[in-house]
Amino acid sequence: MDDLKHFRQVDSITPGHPESHDTPGVEVTTGPLGQGFSNAVGLAMAQAHTAAVFNKPGFNLITNHTYCIFGDGCSMEGIASEAASTAGHLQLGNLICIYDDNHISIDGDTACAFTEDVLKRFEAYGWHTQWVKDGDHDLEGIAAALEKAREVKDRPSVIKVTTTIGFGSKLQGTGGVHGNPLKADDCLAVKKKFGFDPEQSFVVPSEVYDLYHKHANEGAAKEQEWNQLLERYGQEYKSEHADLTRRLTGDLPEGWEKNLPTYKLSDPAVASRKLSEIVLTKIHQAIPELLGGSADLTGSNLTRWKDAVDFQPPSTKLGDWTGRYIRYGVREHAMIAIMNGLAAYGTIIPYGGTFLNFVSYAAGAVRLASLSRVRIIIVATHDSIGLGEDGPTHQPIETLAHFRALPNMMVWRPADGNETSAAYYAALTNKHTPSILALSRQNLPQLEGSTIEGAIKGGYVVHEAENADITLVSTGSEVGICVDAVKYLKEQHQITARVVSIPCFEVFDAQPKEYRLKCLPDGIPSLSVEVMSTLGWERYAHEQFGLNRFGASGPYKDVYKKFEFTPEGISKRAIATVDFYKGVKPRSPINRAFQQLI
Amino acid sequence: MDDLKHFRQVDSITPGHPESHDTPGVEVTTGPLGQGFSNAVGLAMAQAHTAAVFNKPGFNLITNHTYCIFGDGCSMEGIASEAASTAGHLQLGNLICIYDDNHISIDGDTACAFTEDVLKRFEAYGWHTQWVKDGDHDLEGIAAALEKAREVKDRPSVIKVTTTIGFGSKLQGTGGVHGNPLKADDCLAVKKKFGFDPEQSFVVPSEVYDLYHKHANEGAAKEQEWNQLLERYGQEYKSEHADLTRRLTGDLPEGWEKNLPTYKLSDPAVASRKLSEIVLTKIHQAIPELLGGSADLTGSNLTRWKDAVDFQPPSTKLGDWTGRYIRYGVREHAMIAIMNGLAAYGTIIPYGGTFLNFVSYAAGAVRLASLSRVRIIIVATHDSIGLGEDGPTHQPIETLAHFRALPNMMVWRPADGNETSAAYYAALTNKHTPSILALSRQNLPQLEGSTIEGAIKGGYVVHEAENADITLVSTGSEVGICVDAVKYLKEQHQITARVVSIPCFEVFDAQPKEYRLKCLPDGIPSLSVEVMSTLGWERYAHEQFGLNRFGASGPYKDVYKKFEFTPEGISKRAIATVDFYKGVKPRSPINRAFQQLI
């Protein structure tokens, strides 16, 4: 009751919108419209998969439906359309959604903007549809529709329930009851109308307590029954039981990390999207809860290990519910929100691919992944102008700055094979932090100084040098070019450079200051090199070489050359930096006057 | 022909995806899926509005249809669903879309992810639908369907044309013909099959030239006819003619800026979203091409001037086609893409509102606004934790860093009334740069030193002080708190502080270096203060006070206090900064070793 009294107060567990990490019993963090609907699709998919993997004859362990209530706002959002189309394709008979059709959104009557036939649209997606016309009074009708929906096994159900917003208030049927408290007299009248004592506040009638206690007891009995079932399951299906109970702790299987590939200098150059595919190929058997997919770019993202089974309704003959590869279609925003739902279920670690540039389409869901602290992995390939021919419409410039500024998000941009393994290691072992892996289309050489141990610190010295004149700080595909620039600078200009790779800001920032100062020491000027916006690089380097403009369409080597991301181009700026700081021993950017609030 | 030969080569006008600013004849920049479809809805809306405003009896000046071809990928994208629902609501009879139903996307047969009934969905949106079943051969069927679609005046039309992708190639019916050139032998066979000389490349048969020349001549004749009509129109409708021809140049009406309000210290504190409403109220009559709207947050964004007429189909009785206020519904992504289309039409300057946090839902379209250099204005209110009770799900942290990193985007965060007027001035007078105006929910005091002249430089000294110990650099709602901190620092700690406001990085960066150095001089340590991610602030300040974590739900003053964004909290960090730089005369962050590539 105290929590209710602190509704929307600082440090309460009752914020303005439900947040799963703050409030026990809240399954997913919603509020931004369309996210919850899409999370529900993910939860239902998780149920279908988990049931298919673990249920056995006589052991119907995983049986839940997913229920979701959505309104006109969610109906209008594109993300919900994407998710609804996905759910229809997947024939998710375990998903029941109630559409609260109250005809009101913030701008007033939905007649001003939203006049489509919602049920017909859901029919087009392949959903079972029902309509309860008087949702204000017809409770039996709602109950019957729910019962009917539970009987429908071969497709998701939507029940349109036509209601009056703020039913009973003087403001009923208007947007005035959406976000504002009722006025005192209206509040009194509503309480009276529904049989409450109008003089009392923050009171729950004892009948309600009794009813809920009764339900709670029934629930507790069911839970005990289920726990017993699980125990018997453990006797009969030992390894499945161990797997399921382990998954629920969030821990990974012991020794899984031994499957991570390592590389040495002499190994061939490989695109980091391909390195990612190699990791997935090597670890997917060790981590059965990994469930992959792509927003229609499987062959480009390289997210599918060979012989993966698709997660599909068996009737499609394209896969089955045990399948671990999801065909998300061209639906980036729903994909990430569905992944948030998959992760929230507790038995799955989802990853999903698209081009880095199109992770922006999913920004709303990416943000909620961070806020709700779910472990999801976004495989973001074609991560720069290095994608070449597709041109500026596909070449990220602002994208890394965007997601690096997002709290509790690990943005990884590995430089080679060892760093790619490190990125996966961090992404998989951080239970409460989502990751974006920014991966190249083009081949990247294996680096002499790269190690998994270094890279998992988020940043490390990839090439050390005594009495260096400059530190080059870089990520991903540009680290190798920096290493080449070191030679060029030495041979052509007698300048000694060292190279630091910072594949992940978020993780590097969390290292002890002494470690960070060892990477970026006082007294040496530094130059960052990354082929996109320089915004944020001032945090690690005195000078920045980047691309604060849009890219260009062309073969990638030509594009790199146009913008001077070559050993020569880097050297030119390194020399300018060394000259600029001649006679000055600059303080490391790591040294700060005070600690940030985090 | 040379341009075709340079397809996807650096500095060609034939990049991997069509870009309107590079290639004459390309109306909108597309490529990212769903954008072009939504642009088309905007273009059709622009036609309906422009026709309603300018057409007169006997002068049917504005009559064009908008045609759009979209595929399975666009069909799956949520943004296209939002735009299609909008077009259906608006009964856009001038919009004809052809759905290239080839059953193939990058992942292969659409059976793996996309099995909905697309035409039924469009019917649900209120569209007229047709199906040409053999699009490979039935050219008459396509022509007849287009003719029929042109007859439908009361709703948009979609024609599903079932086709074979790569028709004629060995790879027809597969994704193999999507992005890759045909192999040599296949290429020969296709040319042969369709009656071309297989030995010749980059050749256009003379019949094709002839046909196109004929069409071009007909077009030129039509254009001349139209120009004559326009001239006669000018004799009869002088002011309308002057208005229309002026709009097409992109220039604003002379003297419009005299309507911009100015403020003095003694004026009351006002929320900048309200200040924005005051600007719109004062300028909308002077700038008739301003067309506003909101994604269902009109009363919160304050985007609608009093007595505005809604842009609606007359049959709804909610407005008419001359109306200048658009009800976008809860469809942020489509809204911005539609605004891109409205702007591309040439007679309209669109603005549209949502919460700053939900501009992220539209990131894909925002990016294309920047890339395609259209003048659109995004009114982004509730711009920080200062929105209070809605909590972390609604409070931007990463959002400004994201859009500041986007090239050719002006992100404005005005501190008071004069700065809000300046933001509108810049947004309206920069013909080829879109803007985001980040505006507060809470009241902001008018500042003593603020001026339109200063603010339109993107940054300026709002409070100067001789022999200052520190420069506080800030934006928006925090500038006023910094001004209060100046007093606190002086009275409590004998520290002299000056204050610089940088409402727009993009514009400030474009000022001459001497000017920027006057704002941020050498020798004085600086501290940035902004209540969101510090990422990027290292560019302007030695130390940063921000919020690299999610916010909190509560009354806004409590939230500000929790995170110490108070005169005391700022002073604490200012003192730490002054101490840290004691005995050091730090170089201004404006001084750099070399120029960035822009």
Contact between residue A27 and residue A69 where contact means Cβ atoms under 8 Å apart: no
Contact between residue A428 and residue A465 where contact means Cβ atoms under 8 Å apart: no
How far, in Å, CA of A36 to CA of B401, rounded? 26
Question: Which of A329, A392, A538 lies nearest to residue B538, judging by beta carbons?
Answer: A538
- Section A574-584 average pLDDT: 96
Chain A interface disruption, residue of B4, B79, B81, B368, most A CBs within 10 A: B81
Both A398 and A464 in a single domain? no
A347-394 residue pLDDT tens = 999 999 999 999 999 999 999 999 999 999 999 999 999 999 999 999
- Structure confidence at residue B22 (pLDDT): 85
User: What ipTM does this complex have?
Assistant: 0.98
How far, in Å, CA of A546 to CA of A549, rounded? 9
How far, in Å, CA of A358 to CA of B233, rounded? 46
- Please, which residues have CB within 8 angstroms of residue B230's CB and are 6 or more apart in sequence? B61, B241, B244, B245
Q: Does B563 touch chain A (CB under 8 A)?
A: yes
Output the average pLDDT for chain A: 97
The backbone torsions φ and ψ at residue B168, rounded to the nearest 5 degrees and listed phi first, read 105, -25
Q: Residues of A annotated as binding site for substrate? A: 178, 273, 300, 382, 390, 394, 441
Nearest to B409 by CA among A549, A178, A526, A128: A549
- Of chain A, the percentage scoring pLDDT greater than 70 comes to 100
Tally of structural domains, chain A: 3
DSSP state of B385: G
Which residues, numbered 247 to 286 in chain A, qualify as contacts with chain B under a Cβ-Cβ cut-off of 8 Å?
A: none
Q: Are A539 and B538 inside 8 Å of each other by CB?
A: yes
Buried b (16+ CB within 10 A) or exposed e, A220-232: eeeeeeeeeeeee
Q: Which of B277, B289, B332, B506 is catalytic?
A: B332
Residues of chain B contacting A371 with CB distance shorter than 8 Å: 392-393, 550
Both B409 and B292 in a single domain? yes
Q: Are A358 and B534 inside 8 Å of each other by CB?
A: no
Both A57 and A165 in a single domain? yes
Q: Is B392 annotated as a binding residue?
A: no
CA angle, A188 then A193 then A194, to 5°: 105
Q: In this model, does residue A134 exceed pLDDT 90?
A: yes
CA distance A9 to chain B (A): 4
CATH label of the domain that carries residue B472: 3.40.50.920
- Section B94-98 average pLDDT: 98
Both A415 and A486 in a single domain? no
Residue B311, strand partner residues: B320
Nearest to A303 by CA among A477, A478, A439: A439
- Section B20-47 average pLDDT: 96
Strand order in the sheet with A526-529: A460-463, A497-501, A470-474, A526-529, A543-545
Both A335 and A423 in a single domain? yes
For A24, what's the count of Cα atoms within 13 Å in the CB-facing half-sphere?
1
Which residues, numbered 182 to 241 in chain B, qualify as contacts with chain A under a Cβ-Cβ cut-off of 8 Å?
A: none
Q: In this model, does residue B596 exceed pLDDT 80?
A: no
Contact between residue A477 and residue A544 where contact means Cβ atoms under 8 Å apart: no
Confidence of residue A598 (pLDDT cuts 50, 70, 90): low
Q: Residues of A annotated as binding site? A: 31-33, 72-73, 102, 104, 178, 273, 300, 358, 382, 390, 394, 441
Domain's final residue, options A444, A474, A509: A444
Domain holding B335, by residue range, is: 256-444
DSSP state of A586: P
Q: In this model, does residue A596 exceed pLDDT 80?
A: no
Question: Which of B116, B543, B589 lies nearest to residue A593, judging by beta carbons?
Answer: B543
CA torsion sign for A173, A179, A183, A185 is: positive
Q: Are B10 and A538 inside 8 Å of each other by CB?
A: no
Single-letter amino acid code for the residue at B389: E
Both A410 and A285 in a single domain? yes
The backbone torsions φ and ψ at residue B250, rounded to the nearest 5 degrees and listed phi first, read 85, -5
Both B424 and B492 in a single domain? no
Residues of chain A contacting B574 with CB distance shorter than 8 Å: none
DSSP state of A351: E
Pairing of strands B270-271, B443-444: antiparallel
Residue B353, strand partner residues: B294, B379
**H-helix segments, A59-177:** 72-76, 78-90, 118-125, 139-151
Between A and B, how many CB-CB pairs are < 8 A? 414
Q: Are B331 and A598 inside 8 Å of each other by CB?
A: no
Contact between residue B457 and residue B507 where contact means Cβ atoms under 8 Å apart: yes
Domain's final residue, options A202, A217, A232: A217
Q: Are B82 and A85 inside 8 Å of each other by CB?
A: no
Buried b (16+ CB within 10 A) or exposed e, B445-461: bbbebbbbebbbbbbbb
Both B384 and B500 in a single domain? no
Q: Are A331 and B77 inside 8 Å of each other by CB?
A: yes
Active site residue B491: no
The backbone torsions φ and ψ at residue A358, rounded to the nearest 5 degrees and listed phi first, read -95, 0
CA distance B254 to chain A (A): 32
Confidence of residue A597 (pLDDT cuts 50, 70, 90): low
Question: Which of B112, B367, B407 lies nearest to residue A360, judging by beta carbons?
Answer: B367
- Section A540-550 average pLDDT: 97
In which element (H, E) is residue A502 found?
A: none
Higher pLDDT, residue A597 or A191 = A191
The backbone torsions φ and ψ at residue A194, rounded to the nearest 5 degrees and listed phi first, read -100, 15
Nearest to A475 by CA among A544, A548, A425: A544
In which element (H, E) is residue A375 found?
A: none
CA distance A295 to chain B (A): 9
Q: Is B394 annotated as a binding residue?
A: yes
Q: What is the distance of C-alpha B220 from the center of its chain?
A: 33
Confidence of residue B598 (pLDDT cuts 50, 70, 90): low
DSSP state of B465: -
Residue A241 lies in a domain: no
Contact between residue A480 and residue A417 where contact means Cβ atoms under 8 Å apart: no
Question: Which residue on chain B is closest to A400 by alpha carbon?
Answer: B402
CA distance B391 to chain A (A): 5
DSSP reduced 3-state for A595:
coil
Q: Identify the burial level of B333 via C-beta atoms within 10 angstroms of its C-beta, where 0-12 means exposed, 13-18 middle and 19 or more buried.
A: buried
Domain's final residue, options A421, A444, A467: A444
How far, in Å, CA of A135 to CA of A139, rounded? 7
Output the average pLDDT for chain B: 97
Residues of chain A contacting B407 with CB distance shorter than 8 Å: 397-398, 533, 548-550
Residue B449 lies in a domain: no
CA distance B420 to chain A (A): 25
B461-491 residue pLDDT tens = 999 999 999 999 999 999 999 999 999 999 9
CATH label of the domain that carries residue B436: 3.40.50.970
Question: Which of B79, B298, B543 lies nearest to residue A78, judging by beta carbons?
Answer: B79
Residue A44 lies in a domain: yes
Which residues, numbered 123 to 182 in chain B, qualify as contacts with chain A under a Cβ-Cβ cut-off of 8 Å?
A: 123-126, 175
Both B153 and B51 in a single domain? yes
Question: Which residue on chain A is closest to B565 by alpha carbon?
Answer: A597
Both A537 and A412 in a single domain? no
Confidence of residue B597 (pLDDT cuts 50, 70, 90): low
Both B32 and B82 in a single domain? yes
Q: Are B408 and A294 inside 8 Å of each other by CB?
A: no
Buried b (16+ CB within 10 A) or exposed e, B300-331: bbbbbbeebebbbbeeeebbbbebbbbbbbbb
CA distance B238 to chain A (A): 35
From the CA atom positions of chain A, what is the Rg in Å?
Answer: 27
Chain A interface disruption, residue of B4, B45, B75, B116, most A CBs within 10 A: B116
Q: Are A403 and B398 inside 8 Å of each other by CB?
A: yes
Confidence of residue A22 (pLDDT cuts 50, 70, 90): confident
Question: Which of A17, A111, A544 lies nearest to residue B390, judging by beta carbons?
Answer: A17
Which residues, numbered 447 to 486 in chain A, qualify as contacts with chain B under a Cβ-Cβ cut-off of 8 Å?
A: none
CA angle, A322 then A327 then A332, to 5°: 130
A31-57 residue pLDDT tens = 999 999 999 999 999 999 999 999 999
Q: Which of A19, A77, A289, A332 is catalytic?
A: A332
- Structure confidence at residue B581 (pLDDT): 96
Residue B134 lies in a domain: yes
Residue B250 lies in a domain: no
Residue B86 lies in a domain: yes
CA distance A512 to chain B (A): 18
- Structure confidence at residue A293 (pLDDT): 98
Which residues, numbered 391 to 420 in chain A, qualify as contacts with chain B under a Cβ-Cβ cut-off of 8 Å?
A: 391-394, 397-398, 401-408
Question: Which residue on chain A is closest to B573 by alpha carbon?
Answer: A594
Q: In this model, does residue B85 exceed pLDDT 70?
A: yes
Buried b (16+ CB within 10 A) or exposed e, A318-339: bbbbebbbbbbbbbbbbbbbbb
How far, in Å, CA of B457 to CA of B520, rounded? 14
- Of chain B, the percentage scoring pLDDT greater than 70 comes to 100
Q: Are A116 and B107 inside 8 Å of each other by CB?
A: no
A168-194 residue pLDDT tens = 999 999 988 988 889 999 999 999 999
From the CA atom positions of chain B, what is the Rg in Å?
Answer: 27
How far, in Å, CA of B279 to CA of B286, rounded? 11
- Section B141-148 average pLDDT: 98
Both B462 and B426 in a single domain? no
Q: Are A17 and B106 inside 8 Å of each other by CB?
A: no
Residue B429 lies in a domain: yes
Residue B226 lies in a domain: no
Token code pair at residue A65: 């439906």
- Section B362-379 average pLDDT: 98
CA distance A144 to chain B (A): 26
**H-helix segments, A96-205:** 118-125, 139-151, 184-193
Q: Are B32 and A407 inside 8 Å of each other by CB?
A: no
- Structure confidence at residue A30 (pLDDT): 94
Q: Is B31 annotated as a binding residue?
A: yes
Q: What is the distance of C-alpha B227 from the center of its chain?
A: 31
